[in-house]
């Protein structure tokens, strides 16, 4: 008989925490994979898939690291453009999906299971652990995958070492001013919701809200300078559908 | 008998144009001076005056250029901190007010009449014209004064030459996402309004709306890199009251 119920085996059981983000995604890997592959997320089809693809393509990378790659659609699309893609995600079931669906006839993809804490602690720059990918990538991209608090900040600080010279960090995230609802415009954990998704989803992940100022400060604190910021517009609402940051390591 | 009615002597008479911005401020110099000095603009008293002062003070400048200085309150406040301030504005009546009200017992202020077009065309780096202020300022600040379109973009491109080494450009402006109302979130001229101001105001200036992405791109195009962005919160609404950009010339 285990001393801990299964939930606690995944770590901190606080309702609003980096550990709960991971737990939720562990539980929803299968419906999430279906939702992405069926094009069930309207804003992605209408706006944000193209926004992240365009931003990555614009810097013409040869090699891309997809951080929080999920079931892999972004890496698969970039591989179809001829880019050499590696993906990391904390959820083994999603990494397996990314591996299985990597498109034939493209450069091989390299998908690994790693938490943001692992990355922060050097798992991607240590051949004795996961990989020695130091200086390997022209772009590190994270598409709606920077959901947490400290885990995100610590992970980002490890990214400059993974980038090739003149490499870029590209992040797409919810547009804070639009996605924040009526809550005060201050950083902090927010309750999650699967509103608009199918009934197969359970245990929505909390998410850590950051203001635009805080996103820019976060990137800066990780050793980057902002090169550009985009606010892709949802054609249905005329409002920003997301925030895209493009940054480079500071000299 | 003049060939042109007085309005046209001020330039382009198009209803939404840089020239109309200037014309409106020419006409409202007196009530504007009263409104600022009586503390009649609630958001300034509650939030944005402190936001711009704090941002300027944080970089500890010795010399400041106040672009679009108006009746001079910001330069006066910074002079009271011991900074050496110069101010430029296109409206002679406002420059005169700034000169007259410069506080005694502080470093002398230097207030000049110049349009953004004049600055763009080198009037502040040419001793045969207005001044040779090349490399003179630790901070160039513009507080809710970048209202127009091309005139603003051209003027900003002349600012790096006015800054001392390690100098900063600091801009406070309306927060686009909050101030944009229900209009589509795209750059463009918007009709002005004196709603909330006294009946002494007439002929409201149009203003050129820029998205956050466009503000950052504007600063970048002028030769700067963004160092920080702030979103001061209005305590009454919990929403951003303004956008503050802090940038330095790119190497």
pLDDT reported for residue B116: 98
- Quick one: pLDDT at residue B182? 85
Domain boundaries, chain A: 18-249
pLDDT confidence of residue A180: 83
B122 or B5: which leads in pLDDT:
B122
Q: Which residues contact A163 (CB under 8 A, 6 or more apart)?
A: A135, A137, A138, A140, A169, A249
Q: Which of A179, A211, A225, A229 to mutate to test the interface with B (most CBs of B within 10 A)?
A: A229
Contacts of B220 in chain A (CB under 8 A): 227-228
pLDDT at A197 over 90: yes
CB atoms near residue B16 (< 10 Å): 17
**What end-to-end distance do the CA atoms of chain B give, in Å?**
54
Closest CA to B77 of B107, B112, B43: B107
Report DSSP state, residue B81.
Answer: T
Q: pLDDT band at A79, cuts 50/70/90?
A: very high
pTM of the model: 0.91
Q: Across the interface, do B225 and A226 touch by the CB < 8 Å criterion?
A: yes
Q: Do B184 and A212 touch (CB under 8 A)?
A: no
Task: Provide the angle, in degrees to the nearest 10, between the axes of the packed helices A92-100 and A29-37.
Answer: 30
> How far from chain centre, in Å, is Cα B250?
22
* CA neighbor of A88 nearest in space, from A45, A43, A146, A42: A146
pLDDT in tens, B82-106: 999 999 999 999 999 999 999 999 9
CA atoms of B157 and B221, how far apart (whole Å): 8
Measure CB to CB from residue B212 to each of A183, A231, A233 and give the nearest one. A231
CA–CA separation, A60 and B105 (whole Å): 58
Topology (CATH level 3) of domain A18-249: Rossmann fold (3.40.50)
Instruction: Please report the pLDDT score of residue A5 as a whole number.
Output: 45
> B133-181 pLDDT, tens per residue?
999 999 999 999 999 999 999 999 999 999 999 999 999 999 999 888 8
How many whole angstroms separate alpha carbon A56 and alpha carbon A220? 20
ipTM score above 0.90: no
Cβ–Cβ of A216/B226 closer than 8 Å?
A: yes
Of the candidates B183, B225, B229, the beta carbon closest to that of A225 is on: B225
pLDDT of B4-40, one tens digit each?
A: 444 444 455 688 999 999 999 999 999 999 999 999 9
Contacting residues for A135 by C-beta, under 8 A, at least 6 apart: A161, A162, A163, A164, A165
Chain B interface test: which of A218, A226, A234 (most B C-beta within 10 Å) = A226
A231: nearest CA in chain B?
Answer: B213
In a 3-state reduction of DSSP, which class is residue B168? strand
- 3-class secondary-structure state, position A24: helix
Q: Chain A closest CA to B214's CA: distance in Å?
A: 8
């Amino acid at each position: 008989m285990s001393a801990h119920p299964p939930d606690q085996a995944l770590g901190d059981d606080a309702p609003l925490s980096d550990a709960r983000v991971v737990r939720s995604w562990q539980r929803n890997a299968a419906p999430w994979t279906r939702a992405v592959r069926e094009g069930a997320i309207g804003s992605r089809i209408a706006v944000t898939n193209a926004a992240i693809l365009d931003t990555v393509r614009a810097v013409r990378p040869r090699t891309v690291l997809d951080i929080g790659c999920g079931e892999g659609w972004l890496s698969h699309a970039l591989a179809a453009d001829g880019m050499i893609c590696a993906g990391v995600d904390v959820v083994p079931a999603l990494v397996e999906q990314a591996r299985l669906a990597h498109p034939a006839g493209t450069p091989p993809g390299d998908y690994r299971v790693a938490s943001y804490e692992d990355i922060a602690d050097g798992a991607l720059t240590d051949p004795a652990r996961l990989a020695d990918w130091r200086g390997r990538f022209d772009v590190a991209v994270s598409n709606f995958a920077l959901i947490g608090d400290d885990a995100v900040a610590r992970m980002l600080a490890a990214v400059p070492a993974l980038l090739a010279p003149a490499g870029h960090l590209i992040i797409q995230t919810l547009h804070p001013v639009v996605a924040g609802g009526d809550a005060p415009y201050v950083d902090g954990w927010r309750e999650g919701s699967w509103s608009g998704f199918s009934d197969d989803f359970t245990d929505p992940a909390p998410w850590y809200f950051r203001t635009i100022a805080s996103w820019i400060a976060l990137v800066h604190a990780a050793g980057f300078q902002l090169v550009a910021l985009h606010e892709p517009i949802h054609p249905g609402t005329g409002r920003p559908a997301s925030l895209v940051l493009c940054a480079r390591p500071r000299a």
